[in-house]
Amino acid sequence: MWNRIQHWWQEQARKQVMQSVIAPVEPIDIIRADGLAEHDVLAQVDLLQEMSRIDAALAKELGIYQPETVNERKEIVDSLGKKMLADVIPVSFTIQGQERSSRWVVVDRSTEMHLVTLSKRDVEDFYIFVQPAQQ
């Protein structure tokens, strides 16, 4: 009996860890202004960022960003080291089946490979699996 209980607990722990592992680029679902989900948006994990970032054009397309209604701004440093003021918006999203709400910075990411970056704040309870480089 004890072995079956112990095996069950080990299996539950393994499932929990597997559900908590994400890749450096992870598909997420962003909840649009109309309540529907925009599925499989590829988001890059960036643990050096304080807040997650979303491309302005994408946020407008999803209906979650109207510049005239933003009432919060934050000073950020862009990829070139230049300080700038950026709008902050509330965003609801799903990652690995977990629904989350957060505040994201709206920036121009049109020249970037991924239009969304997830900060340490939004992925702090996940393990990030980085595949070793092939030799």
pLDDT at 135: 65
Alpha-helical runs (H) found in the chain = 2-19, 56-62, 120-123
Question: If pLDDT is split at 50, 70 and 90, which confidence band does 42 have?
Answer: very high
At 16, the pLDDT band (50, 70, 90 cuts) reads: low
* Percent over 70 (pLDDT), the chain: 86
Q: Which pTM was predicted?
A: 0.80
> Shortest CA distance to 20 belongs to which of 119, 121, 124, 117?
124
Which of 45-54, 61-70, 76-85 is the least confident region? 76-85
How confident is the model over 70-123, as pLDDT tens digits? 889 999 887 778 898 999 999 999 999 999 999 999 999 988 999 999 999 999
Distance of CA 8 to the CA centre of its chain: 32
CATH of domain 23-128: 2.40.70.10
Which tokens hold the place of 54?
């979303």
Has residue 39 got a pLDDT over 90? yes
